[in-house]
């Protein structure tokens, strides 16, 4: 599964082209639609190709952006550019989404599992620190298609989601919508952004039984394990006497202890290693994830 080695590719991260989903080359920036300043493209070619789809929504996207900027003005000191702060918060949110361990895998799992429901995935995080604990929720069409909410913010979000999903070139087997919310940014305000992302090449290879029976947490843990060391042999410690508190702990079988031929080294989480006899560990069967494993 070589495609697992790069989980956050250009097509599964924010700040990508609205048409081809590619991120700009190093040192380059995305072009913004001059009408709404909300839709971004890698080139004028992609912008022209997307205009027919984007045109009906351009005005509303622009109005929604203007409302967002207006709402932020009161939170900044006089003379501070709300647009500049918005751009900075966008960059911080993009980077956090792309680097948060397991987040992209969790989002893609939920989006792929429920793609028949035309969902968007909401990711809400208190901040963009590395230790933040985000909430990830799948919102099906039955929830977002009602735009009668009294809150303009809710209406703007739902209208944007509808524009993406109802576009002629949108395919639930290729793309998914993410609404990312940062409760408190470096600017001290709440920030939200919506993007149309593309599934990783490995997602269609997941077996259907995994989608039915495996929890998102377990899926993410297994994908991260495969990505880190796909050939690792996992064991569970049993029958220890002097170190009985370690019984039940799982680790990776490293091989024969070079100093004691009758013992084997087991690496535990946190970097600790312990040498045990063969009768003091049992193999842990890893769950199957991909079609080729069945």
pLDDT value at position 16? Answer: 78
Q: Which residue has the tokens 């045990």?
A: 276
pLDDT value at position 128? Answer: 95
Helical ranges in the chain per DSSP H: 44-73, 82-99, 103-113, 141-144, 152-165, 208-213, 216-228
Give the separation between CA 202 and CA 199, rounded to whole angstroms.
8
pLDDT value at position 188? Answer: 80
Query: What are phi and psi for residue 90, nearest 5 degrees?
Result: -60, -45
Task: Check: CB of residue 236 under 8 Å from CB of residue 282.
Answer: yes
Q: Are strands 120-125 and 135-139 parallel, antiparallel or unpaired?
A: antiparallel
pTM (2 decimals)? 0.80
Q: Are strands 281-283 and 234-237 parallel, antiparallel or unpaired?
A: antiparallel
Kindly list the structural domains of the chain, giving each domain's residue range(s) and its CATH number in brackets, ordered by start.
2-209+214-221 (no CATH), 231-293 (2.30.30)
**Number of other residues whose CB lies within 10 A of the CB of residue 139:** 20
Q: Is 132 exposed, middle or buried (0-12, 13-18, 19+ CB in 10 A)?
A: middle
Among candidate residues 103, 109, 101, the one with its CA nearest the CA of residue 210: 109
**pLDDT tens, N- to C-terminus, the chain (294 residues):** 566 655 444 455 566 788 888 877 777 788 989 998 888 899 999 999 999 989 988 988 888 777 777 666 555 545 556 667 778 888 899 999 999 999 999 999 999 999 999 999 999 999 999 999 999 999 999 988 876 777 777 888 888 898 889 888 899 999 999 999 999 988 788 888 888 899 999 999 999 999 999 999 999 999 999 998 899 999 999 999 999 999 999 999 999 999 999 999 999 988 999 999 999 999 999 999 999 999
Q: Are strands 120-125 and 175-182 parallel, antiparallel or unpaired?
A: parallel
pLDDT value at position 12? Answer: 52
Task: Check: CB of residue 222 under 8 Å from CB of residue 215.
Answer: no
Give the separation between CA 69 and CA 72, rounded to whole angstroms.
5
Give the separation between CA 143 and CA 53, rounded to whole angstroms.
24
pLDDT value at position 26? Answer: 73
pLDDT value at position 76? Answer: 53
Task: Check: CB of residue 89 under 8 Å from CB of residue 191.
Answer: yes
Query: What are phi and psi for residue 91, nearest 5 degrees?
Result: -65, -40
Helix (H, G, I), strand (E, B) or coil at 273: strand
**Number of other residues whose CB lies within 10 A of the CB of residue 182:** 26
Task: Check: CB of residue 189 under 8 Å from CB of residue 272.
Answer: no
């Amino acid at each position: 599964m070589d495609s697992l080695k790069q989980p956050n590719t250009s097509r599964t991260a924010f700040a990508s082209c609205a048409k081809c989903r590619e991120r700009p080359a190093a040192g380059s920036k995305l072009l913004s639609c001059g009408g709404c300043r909300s839709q971004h493209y890698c080139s004028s070619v992609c912008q022209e190709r997307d205009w027919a789809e984007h045109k009906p929504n351009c005005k509303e996207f622009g109005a929604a952006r203007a409302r967002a900027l207006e709402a932020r003005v009161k939170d900044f000191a006089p003379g501070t550019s709300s647009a500049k702060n918005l751009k900075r918060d966008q960059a911080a949110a993009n980077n956090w989404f792309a680097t948060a361990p397991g987040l992209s895998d969790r989002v893609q799992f939920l989006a792929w599992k429920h793609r028949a429901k035309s969902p968007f995935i909401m990711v809400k995080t208190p901040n963009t620190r590395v230790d933040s604990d985000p909430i990830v929720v799948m919102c099906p069409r039955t929830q977002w298609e009602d735009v009668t909410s009294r809150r303009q913010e809710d209406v703007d979000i739902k209208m944007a989601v509808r524009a993406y999903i109802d576009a002629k070139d949108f395919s639930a087997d290729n793309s998914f919508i993410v609404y990312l919310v940062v409760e408190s940014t470096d600017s001290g305000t709440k920030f939200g952004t919506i993007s149309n992302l593309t599934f990783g090449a490995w997602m269609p290879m997941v077996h259907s039984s995994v989608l039915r029976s495996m929890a998102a947490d377990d899926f993410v843990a297994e994908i991260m394990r495969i990505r880190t060391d796909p050939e690792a042999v996992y064991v569970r410690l049993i029958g220890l006497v002097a170190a009985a508190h370690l019984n039940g702990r799982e680790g990776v079988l490293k091989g024969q202890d070079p100093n004691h031929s009758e013992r084997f080294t087991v690496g535990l989480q946190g970097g600790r290693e312990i040498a045990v006899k063969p009768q003091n560990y049992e193999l842990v069967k890893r769950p199957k994830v991909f079609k080729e494993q069945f």
